[in-house]
Amino acid sequence: MTHDNKVISNTRVLISKIPEGIAPNKSHFRSVTITEPAPVLKENEILVQNLVFSLDPYIRYEFPEGATESPVLGFCIAQVIDSKNPAFPVGAKVSSPSHWEQYTHIRDPYYLSEVQALGDIVDPKIPLSAYNGVLGAPGFTVWDSLNSIGNLKKGETIYISSAAGTLGQLAGQLAKRKGLRVIGSAGTDEKVAFLKNELGFDAAFNYKTLDKRVALTEAVGKAGLDIYYDLVGDDTVEIALDLLNQRGRILAVGILAAHQNKEPYGPKNLAQIVFKQLRYEGYVVFGQYENLGKFYEEVTPLVASGEIKYKETVLNQGVETIGEVYANFLSGAYVGKVNVQIAEL
């Protein structure tokens, strides 16, 4: 693999066929290595070497329908190796939308607007991979959604689905810091123990081995539920609608069930929204970055000091393995944020 002013040897992952009705598996991807001329950059364009890829559920939702031999776009930590953009000089570390490949030529104005320089943001006490997770777009998603639409109040009870994932871990801890009672669910006993023993959740249960309605009803108790932080988008919302108190809230932030190709579920008790005067609101992070500076100012010191804990999986292996890792990730094989490191940092 070489890069100079003339030639790039670039290994990339392509979708070899589009999953139809099932969750992705490694057979849906293939890797190719192409030796090609290094791009001649135009104004504002950059060429980056990708270092650490962030694997996120939404990537599944972005697979182009009906396409084959298509590149997969995600986010990663990268280093600028050629630049015609003064905001991103050669050598700068950036958070960047990049295809699953070793080198990415970023030229589309929309994608360039999503590139973020990490120079002044990175704390040397914090691993760079954290800027894909707790201090990256996932972390900001949690912080901003809770602040902008959560209306958290001390003494309330919040329930978080998929609570051992990147978003759920931080959501629970931020809610605890605001004085809420926090309940979470996860898919293994190991993850449940992590939520209770390491992150300080007040209650947690294994949704795969217990009846969700019974387990959540017992965890909520007489106080009832005030907020459902929904990261899954499945039939759990029907249970939450029954348990929510007057003027409760549902924050719809993730659709993990859809990414896993599970059958969509329509709640049969939507009338509860009227009877209880509930608020059911969705949140998407893209285009919401005006408060990013405040997020870093508040959360970075908490992560650096260990007050905010997080668990991540960093797999140091070749770019050609990302498709298989991603399929395993969607099935719940890892705890916390999943990163694939493909080059030395």
Tell me what pLDDT residue 21 has.
65
**pLDDT value for 28:** 86
CATH assignment of 137-282? 3.40.50.720
Report the CATH fold assignment for 7-133+312-341.
Answer: Quinone Oxidoreductase; Chain A, domain 1 (3.90.180)
Instruction: At 341, give phi and psi (nearest 5°).
Output: -90, 125
Residues of the chain with pLDDT under 70: 1-5, 18-22, 61-62, 64-67, 256-261
Structure tokens belonging to residue 274: 């009227």
Q: Which tokens sit at 191? A: 């993850």
For the record, the structure tokens of 303 come out as 């992560």
The position carrying tokens 């791009």 is 39
For 185-196, the pLDDT digits (tens) are 999 999 999 999
Note the pTM of the prediction, 2 decimals.
Answer: 0.86
Domain ranges in the chain are: 7-133+312-341, 137-282
Write the CB contacts of 284 (distance below 8 Å, at least 6 apart in sequence): none
**54-92 residues labelled b (16+ CB within 10 A) or e (exposed):** bbbbbbbeebeeeeeeeebebbbbbbbbbbebeebeeeb
Tokens 């804990």 locate to 309
